[in-house]
Amino acid sequence: MTSQITPTTPIEGQMPGTSGLRKKTRVFMGPNYLENFIQATFDAIGGGDGGRYIVGGDGRFFNKQAIQTILKMAAANGATEVIVGQNGILSTPAVSHLIRLNAFDGGFILSASHNPGGIDEDFGVKFNASNGGPAPEKLTARIFDATKTISRYKIADFEDVDLSQIGETRQAGMVIRVVDPVDAYQALMAELFDFDAIRALFASGFTMRFDAMHAVTGPYAKAILEGTLGAAPGTVVNGIPLEDFGKGHPDPNPIWAKPLMDLMMSDNAPDLGAASDGDGDRNMIVGRGVYVTPSDSLAVLAANAHLAPPYRGGLAGIARSMPTSAASDRVAEKLGIAAYETPTGWKFFGNLLDAGKATLCGEESAGTGSNHVREKDGLWAVLLWLNILAVRKQSVAEILAEHWQTYGRDYYSRYDFEAVASDKANRLMDHLRDQLPDLAGKTLAGLTVTTADEFSYLDPVDGSISKNQGLRIGFEGGARAVFRLSGTGTEGATIRLYLEQYSGTDGDTTQDTQAALADVWAAAQQVSDMAQIIGRTTPDVIT
Ligand code: G6P
Ligand code: ZN
């Protein structure tokens, strides 16, 4: 077995976005594309010599092939041990947990999260650091720098490793352990939650549907919900990970998980509906006849977390991304604990969790998690809901209604305008940015502006500053509009418009969401001139 040093030249555009490097699969399959990025990552973390890593992915097309390349490159870069999920499968939260459990140096996750998979769809690589969390911005900047100067990569020459067999092999001085992807994660969940209470809930006739969307959570959900907690066989649907996710879009929201939504709004709805995304870090929660927005889910989980064993002693703080609604801030205030507002991207929660400042974190983009790992965790959120439902013995709709009676309701929706030409999207953002200094006091479509700024974040732990994190406009009466460009798309630009309207405990908490947001939507159209600049006002996706 030999290791070789292969000459290469920089490839443009290998800048990690909100969540790793994400490109069309064919781009990743191009000459040296994956190799350059992996070598740049090793170079950025100091070489990889003596390192120990976790490697796995969401099972999408090119997953297994990419893993073989990474194994050979890890060996050539001097790694001593790599743990891989059987058949290349590991969910994002499972990777985070395995890094922490084994005190490894990091992990490579092959996924483009909720983006479709296949040779003509998307692929991605994320590197997680030794705390189990996504590489922080200072590291992704170093990786990007390394991609711009790369002149060689190191790769060992050995036969492809059999990923279908659990067991241990040694190649080019590196131990490769193929493990069951579910075991360690399931043990962690059993440690965290009151499995007896949840088992009793299912035994009492509680019904559920979990839609794994042909993605990575299938085996996890089947083992835990059906195998251990006694949910009826067939509770988990679309439970076998497929390379193209059954040609679907594995994104758990009312649009892409429409079959689940339809069921939950029908007369045959089970008590709880849930779904998770490509790599298992996102979640969607639906009660019988009622969709729980991710922002509300974070708030409800925070208000009830003390009912589940790990959070009985209380929460240190609650963190949310800036575009997420203020619902969880209201819970933090009532609990007398800190509320943090971070830029979009789970990596920003890492420092707060490591420093013990926050216990629960969440994002409007269907991500919720806690200090048990350093990623958002889809199945964890579902299990926390189940634990709460088991203790409160109420329906999701009752819990939500009581929550709004106590805290008021933050009506919330996100409008996405996808595949907008980048120059037009930038023009819209520039046009808004130019107006910000003079907006306060102005009236837009009947709403008076109280605040207008561009969000920048000062990390309270390491003092780093992240600028240009979204344009936000606050209005009298508790409405807010936020404009941001997505950092996860692979085609043109996606403009995200986040709309919010608070209605206090003395107000109406039973309105239709879109009706409650009509005024702030009109104001957002007016101030952005989107009809003129991008030529459309109908969003592709409304969450
Ligand atoms: C990924 C990240 C999240 C982020 C989401 C949306 O799922 O892990 O932290 O909120 O993408 O990001 P975007 O930049 O597309 O709005
Ligand atoms: Zn994901």
Ligand nearest to the CA of 418: 1
Sheet strands (E) in 327-486: 338-342, 360-363, 367-370, 409-420, 443-444, 447-454, 457-458, 465-466, 471-475, 479-485
Tokens of 371: 């200090």
What residues does the ion ligand 2 have nearby, CB within 5 Å?
113, 277, 279, 281-282
- In the reported structure, the alpha carbon of residue 382 is separated from the centroid of ligand 2 by a whole-number distance in angstroms of 15
Calculate ∠ Cα 91-414-250, nearest 5°: 30
Identify the bridge partners of residue 275 per DSSP, sorted by sequence position.
211, 284
- Is residue 456 annotated as part of the catalytic site, yes or no? no
Q: Per the residue annotation, which of 19, 91, 96, 113 is the catalytic one?
A: 113
Question: 461 in helix, strand or coil?
Answer: coil
Q: Helix crossing, 378-392 with 195-203: angle to 10°?
A: 70
Domains observed in the chain: 2-180 (3.40.120.10), 185-407 (3.40.120.10), 409-542 (3.30.310.50)
Atom nearest to 134 CA in ligand 1: 8
Torsion of CA 143, 144, 150, 154, to 10 degrees: 30
- Are 294 and 366 in contact by the 8 Å Cβ rule? The answer is yes
- In this prediction the pTM is 0.95
ipTM score above 0.95:
yes
Q: For the beta carbon of residue 139, count every other beta carbon within 10 angstroms.
A: 18
Ligand 1 pocket: which of 95, 282, 344 to mutate (most atoms within 8 A of CB): 344
- Do 243 and 369 contact (CB within 8 A), yes or no? no
Pocket residues: Cβ below 6 A from ligand 1: 18-19, 113, 321, 344-346, 363, 365, 367, 486-488, 496
Note the ligand closest to the C-alpha atom of 279. Answer: 2
In tens digits, the chain (543 residues) has pLDDT values of: 567 999 999 999 999 987 899 999 999 999 999 999 999 999 999 888 899 999 999 999 999 999 999 999 999 999 999 999 999 999 999 999 999 999 999 999 999 999 999 999 999 999 999 999 999 889 999 999 999 999 999 999 999 999 999 999 999 999 999 999 999 999 999 999 999 999 999 999 999 999 999 999 999 999 999 999 999 999 999 999 999 999 999 999 998 999 999 999 999 999 999 999 999 999 999 999 999 999 999 999 999 999 999 999 999 999 999 999 999 999 999 999 999 999 999 989 999 999 999 999 999 999 999 999 999 999 999 999 999 999 999 999 999 999 999 999 999 999 999 999 999 999 999 999 999 999 999 999 999 999 999 999 999 999 999 999 999 999 999 999 999 999 877 778 999 999 999 999 988 989 999 999 999 999 999 999 999 999 999 999 898
Would strands 360-363 and 317-321 be described as parallel, antiparallel, or unpaired? parallel
**Element holding 434 (H helix, E strand):** helix 422-439
Spatial CA neighbour of 31 closest among 57, 63, 3, 7: 7
What is the pairing mode between strands 106-110 and 52-57? parallel
